[in-house]
Structure 1
Amino acid sequence: MSLHDRVVITGLGAVSALGLGAKALFAGSLAGRSGIRLWPPEAGIWAAAPVPGNLGPVGMHQLPAHVDRHVGLATLAVREAMADAGLENVPAAESASTGVYWGTGVGSAATVEDSYGRLHAGQRARPLTILLAMQNAAVAQIALDHGLRGPQLSVSQACASAAAAIGEAMLALRWGRAERIVVGGSEAPLLAGQLLAWDALRVLAKADTLSPEQSCRPFDRRRNGLVLGEGAAALVLERESVARRRGARIHAELCGYGNAGDASHYARPDPAGQQRAMELALQDAGLTAGDIGYINAHATATSVGDAMEAAAIRNTFGDVQKSPSVSSTKAVHGHTLGAAGALELVITVLALARGECPPTAHLEETDVEGVDLISGTARRGPVLAALSNTFAFGGSNVSLAVRQYPAND
């Protein structure tokens, strides 16, 4: 076993406001078809991006009844990713070398909210509250579902949780700690307590009651805040030698990971930290700025956040002959907090594979300069390498680099 194995992506799975499946996520993003609606349905107070209630024959009704909603969403995404990788049944001999790394920001928020509701109503807590609410509940459920006895890691790094989990999984595979890792993130924050807390922070978009699906407008002059979404995404990562030995289909190579802190402010981003994360990802991947053809931006549709990321991209790619195309797909699937890095990496990988980069939906008039934003329709053309940015409150910045496989080097 070579300690210099590349890390490849052999399975993709997702569930989001755009429906069940990685294909639904990518198709909706490519078409600029928004899953945002007024929430809750009976009151329409906020704009939000919920997972549709009807997910077809493999819907939520088939999930274990005892898990928190975010864990249920994780289960759906992992089920698809494992099937996509041809690993519905992991051989017993490979179980101990197949790990689970997972990211979530607010975790089992529904369980916590239910527990406090019972407390205030003078009722007993549910017997399984601790097990449902523990931060590694998704990791435990995924491992149980698929009989995976390899290394485990649960990451909570606010909105960068899933992205950091993916990066750490890549490092673990490079170092030979495992041969395969199922990794991703999940979030289900569409709860009164969560929405009220985010509203108090004054970063939520005011719902567009006439066109609620257009409430999230990254990079657009008319933006007025972010829209919370729920969802999950999973990727199967393998050492290249392991994937090739079993004849697996390889979607792309996960080749770079940058993780950098701001240490400047809880909420105001610092473009220097974001730039450092991108540069570290490029360095780790052995890529130059000129190799990057597409960036899936973190851009959440806050004026400060969009401007700071645009500055970081300009500073990182300002000297290249051809600037990378940039878009934020949160305009259609919302901000899924700790799951964002996984959902958006799935989109980025499929953009590489299909040669089509999704637009920033609802972008009509931008107020950022020096960035090649995709608006209107998808942009076609070969992309050999791409970055997926995920930045978080607390000054946590993660950038992941992927390239086509086999790499042309």
Structure 2
Amino acid sequence: MTDRRIVITGAGAFSPCGSGVDALWTAARDGRSGARELRFDTIPDQKVTRAAYISDAEYAAAATGAKPRFQDRVTGFALVAAAEAVAQAGLSDEHFGEECGVIVGSGFGGAETLDINYRKFSEQHLTGVTQRMDAMSIPKIMTNAAASWISMTYGARGPLYCNSTACSSASQSIGLAYQLMKGGAMDRCITGGTEACVVPGVFRAWEILRVLSPDACRPFSRDRNGMMLGEGAGVLVLETLEAAEARGATPLAEIVGYGTTSDAGDLLRPDPDGAARSMSRAIRDAGVDPSEIGYVNAHGTATVANDLSETQAMRNVFGNAFEGLAVSSTKPVHGHALGAAGALETIITLESLRAGLAPPSGNFNETDPAIGFEPVHGEAREYAQDFALTNSFAFGGINASLILGSAARL
């Protein structure tokens, strides 16, 4: 069954750029950032004051069916994105059941619930005043909550997984769904990633790690000085081409290649060899020549180490084809959404392929001699190739690369 072709028939997104895929893609295409001023009352000495986050008002407006008594925001985000993806795919009750799986990753799980309850626990210890803890904390915090709620919402009774591999969580989830479907484990899958991590405790932890930019995220720019934290959810409906055709669905694109590797080295420092092997595996799986890939949506965190390492990896993989290749990072637009990043970026890559436009890298100022190339910047750039690649590289030395092919090839 390994010759099964896997297509995307629906996509949904909830991001700091707004609710919906169109809001995310339009912002990415136009280089319009969802970053805003952010100050926490509980962090009196906060140094970094910008993030790409979803406000309480935006969440309330989009998640009209949310169950806050039982669901953390991380689950609500995923359900908003899943509803859009399922609607676009045109799925109904008859299309779920045992042949539909759910694979939705997250890095932190219910970060807001965890943060609130730890704060109450701490205050109770310090003041001696009893604090009422949330009795539903465990089911709200658990990392698989979003995947399970999606399964219950739609009656999807096939395989259910939750990858929690830091910044590769969503890309590995999509890749696993692709591999399981090619192997015959299911005919369709709701897959992607979700993260609701812009809360005081998590934000402070990233701040003291000294990897957040105090002003702006500038991937591949000589003056880059760190990443910008983000959050949101991205969900795709994947189906075998046969299943999609049987119900008259229109594929948006095809997933043609997936590669994932481990550096087995430093926990935090990226290794260009691991990233290169990930991309090479995806290219080999897709059966394409590197020159056939027109756009790379880079992991591009705007840290000094990541951007240098990823560039070295791309040069090793693409060789002469790297010159003229359209490369950009969209993290200045939606932030680094950690466990949701790969899903948001796969959706942008999907829309990029459909439009034939590579979105720009925001805030690029000057070429870094150590990197030696300019990403797409200023405005979107046209490309004509039928394939696009997206990368996700995570702490822990986990690498994942996905290649999408144009629906026109089907």
Q: Tell me the TM-score normalized by structure 1.
A: 0.93
C-alpha distance after superposition, 1:3-48 (max 9, x if no partner): 4210000000001111010111000000000111111277885210
Task: State the Cα distance separating 1:246 from its structure 2 match.
Answer: 0.7
Moved more, 171-180 or 360-369: 360-369
Alignment equivalent of 2:395, drawn from 393, 396, 400: 393
Could you say which residue in structure 1 is the equivalent of 2:287? 286
SS in 2 for 1:402: strand
Q: Which amino acid aligns with 1:289?
A: P
Task: State the Cα distance separating 1:357 from its structure 2 match.
Answer: 1.1
5+ long unaligned stretches in structure 1: 209-214
Task: State the Cα distance separating 1:125 from its structure 2 match.
Answer: 2.8
Could you say which residue in structure 1 is the equivalent of 2:127? none
Within a 5 Å distance, the mapping from 1:3-402 to structure 2 comes to 3-40=2-39, 45-55=48-58, 59-65=62-68, 66-87=70-91, 89-91=92-94, 94-120=96-122, 121=124, 122-206=130-214, 208=215, 215-320=216-321, 323-367=324-368, 368-371=370-373, 373-402=375-404
Q: Which amino acid aligns with 1:33?
A: R
Q: Percent identity?
A: 42
2:234 and 2:340 in contact (8 A); partners too: yes
Task: State the Cα distance separating 1:94 from its structure 2 match.
Answer: 4.0
Structure-2 separation of matches of 1:158 and 1:110: 17
Q: Which amino acid aligns with 2:51?
A: A
Number of residue pairs matched by the alignment:
398
Q: Which amino acid aligns with 2:244?
A: A
Task: State the Cα distance separating 1:194 from its structure 2 match.
Answer: 0.6
C-alpha distance after superposition, 1:215-268 (max 9, x if no partner): 111111222111100100000000110001111111100011110111110111
2:217 and 2:302 in contact (8 A); partners too: yes
SS in 1 for 2:162: strand
Task: State the Cα distance separating 1:111 from its structure 2 match.
Answer: 1.3
Structure-2 separation of matches of 1:324 and 1:156: 31
Could you say which residue in structure 1 is the equivalent of 2:407? 405
1:323 and 1:371 in contact (8 A); partners too: no
Q: Which amino acid aligns with 1:200?
A: I
Task: State the Cα distance separating 1:56 from its structure 2 match.
Answer: 9.2
C-alpha distance after superposition, 1:187-215 (max 9, x if no partner): 01111111111111110111x3xxxxxx1
Moved more, 215-224 or 251-260: 215-224
C-alpha distance after superposition, 1:278-318 (max 9, x if no partner): 00000111111111110000011101111110111111111
SS in 2 for 1:155: coil
Structure-2 separation of matches of 1:151 and 1:316: 34
5+ long unaligned stretches in structure 2: 125-129
Structure-1 separation of matches of 2:321 and 2:383: 18
Q: Structure 1 pair 90/323, CA: closer, same or farther in 2 (3 Å)? A: farther
Structure-2 separation of matches of 1:48 and 1:313: 28
SS in 2 for 1:388: strand
SS in 1 for 2:210: coil
Structure-1 separation of matches of 2:239 and 2:299: 26
C-alpha distance after superposition, 1:165-197 (max 9, x if no partner): 100000010011000000010001111111111
C-alpha distance after superposition, 1:43-98 (max 9, x if no partner): 885210012555499513442222111111001000000001011x331x641110
